[in-house]
Amino acid sequence: MIVKSTITDEELKRAKDISDKILNYYNSKVVGQPFLGAAILVAMMNNGHILLESVPGLAKTTAAKVMTDAVHGSFSRIQCTPDLIPSDIVGTQIFNMATNSFETKIGPVFANFVLLDEINRSSAKTQSAMLEAMAEHEVTIGGEIYKMPDVFVVIATQNPIEQEGTYELAEAQMDRFLLKVELNYPDPASEVEILNRIEADVFSKREAVCDLNDILFLQEASRKVYLDPAVKQYIVDIVQASRNTKQLIHPNLSQYVTMGASTRAAITFMAVSKSIALLNGRNYVTPDDVRAMRYEVLRHRIMLNFAAVADGVQEETIIDAIIGAVRTP
């Protein structure tokens, strides 16, 4: 492979050192969810947002706080409820009787890391306001535009089990998330280690191993990673295959697919694979880098029908079939 990366060896080494420090700090705090730490770091490297799906109590909030501490960022947690309104998130104008004028009070969304807990419990109008801030990296309050911080990552969570009193995210809104990660219960050994770390009070010892300038450096370095035209075509072939499942995968599986991935999926594959290559200390992308987070890139962008739910067919099964149908360069 002919490498045409613009990253210098010094930049590559610095990027690897920064990412290793962050992940080592994360793994020293959080047990049983190493992939989640890598996924949040990839989101940080692309100023993207991540949707976490699991039952309560699987360290979603803890992981977000640990990663925030690691880079000395600002953290904000928003608990979504049906009565939450857009101004509760983005801010509003308040009349000051002493000065006889309106003052702008910005909302909790103005933080480096925003944990949007149980996003599907907020109303569609509130979801729309939040997702606009996520997409545009700015909000308008009283006719004036307010920019988000340079490092701005939303970590939204939702419970897949309890659906009473929830507002399901629309497909177009789901597509705004860079990644969707599904978390499972830890194994017995990990659960014992969790108890040991809580008993040792490891979470009270907070320190920054990097800073936000290091994250900005990772973002810039990630964009410089070389993507060969053949690998770029591989990404496009995967996305195209998701839209033409009837021609490429077995009818027993293609019957469950109602909609394939958008062009945003191809853009995400490119960005994520570059970040993964950088985390692995390389200045070029391989097909393995593209496949590394295939579930997280595609599971919320491929829509299955009700028959799939009835038959217990998961998005991961369809994604594996799609990847298997595309020739690897």
Give pLDDT tens digits for 272-308. Answer: 999 999 999 999 999 999 999 999 999 999 999 999 9
pLDDT greater than 90 at residue 172:
no
Number of domains composing the chain: 2
Helix, strand and coil percent figures for the chain, each rounded to 5: 50, 15, 35
Report the distance separating Cα 46 and Cα 65, nearest Å.
19
Amino acid identity of 73? G
Q: Is the domain of 126 the same as that of 4? A: yes
Residue-number span of the structural domain to which 266 is assigned: 225-329
Q: Is the domain of 40 the same as that of 95? A: yes
pLDDT greater than 60 at residue 165:
no
Predicted confidence band at 127 (pLDDT cuts at 50, 70, 90)? confident
Give the domain-ending residue among 224, 247, 263: 224
Q: What is the pLDDT of residue 46?
A: 96
**Mind listing the pLDDT tens digit for each residue in 15-30?**
999 999 999 999 999 9
Give the mean model confidence (pLDDT) for residues 160-182.
79
Q: Is the domain of 51 the same as that of 95? A: yes
pLDDT greater than 90 at residue 34:
no
Q: What is the pTM of this model?
A: 0.91
| Radius of gyration of the chain measured on its C-alpha atoms | 21
Q: Is the domain of 140 the same as that of 76? A: yes
Q: Is the domain of 280 the same as that of 232? A: yes
Amino acid identity of 224? K
Give the domain-ending residue among 186, 201, 224: 224
Residues 31, 197 contacting (CB under 8 angstroms): yes
Q: Is the domain of 267 the same as that of 161? A: no
Amino acid identity of 96? N
Q: Is the domain of 187 the same as that of 290? A: no
Tokens representing 183 are 């978390």
| Domain CATH code at residue 233 | 1.10.8.80
Q: What is the pLDDT of residue 266?
A: 96
Per-position DSSP letters for 219-259, written without gaps between them: HHHHHHSB--HHHHHHHHHHHHHHH-HHHHS-HHHHTTEEE
| Domain CATH code at residue 102 | 3.40.50.300
Predicted confidence band at 5 (pLDDT cuts at 50, 70, 90)? low
Q: What is the pLDDT of residue 4?
A: 63
Amino acid identity of 92? T
Q: Is the domain of 310 the same as that of 242? A: yes
Q: Is the domain of 245 the same as that of 100? A: no
pLDDT greater than 90 at residue 11:
yes
Q: Is the domain of 64 the same as that of 178? A: yes
**Mind listing the pLDDT tens digit for each residue in 137-147?**
988 888 888 99
Share of the chain above pLDDT 70, in %: 97
Give the mean model confidence (pLDDT) for residues 313-318.
94
**Mind listing the pLDDT tens digit for each residue in 57-112?**
888 889 999 999 999 999 999 998 888 898 899 888 888 888 888 888 889 999 99
Length of the chain measured in residues: 329
Q: What is the pLDDT of residue 2?
A: 47
Q: Is the domain of 190 the same as that of 307? A: no
Report the distance separating Cα 108 and Cα 121, nearest Å.
18
Q: Helix, strand or coil for residue 301?
A: coil
**Mind listing the pLDDT tens digit for each residue in 221-262?**
999 999 999 999 999 999 999 999 999 899 999 999 999 999
Q: What is the pLDDT of residue 168?
A: 79
Give the domain-ending residue among 224, 240, 273: 224
Q: Is the domain of 214 the same as that of 231? A: no
User: Chain centroid to CA 265: how far?
Assistant: 13
Rounded to the nearest integer, the mean pLDDT of the chain is 90
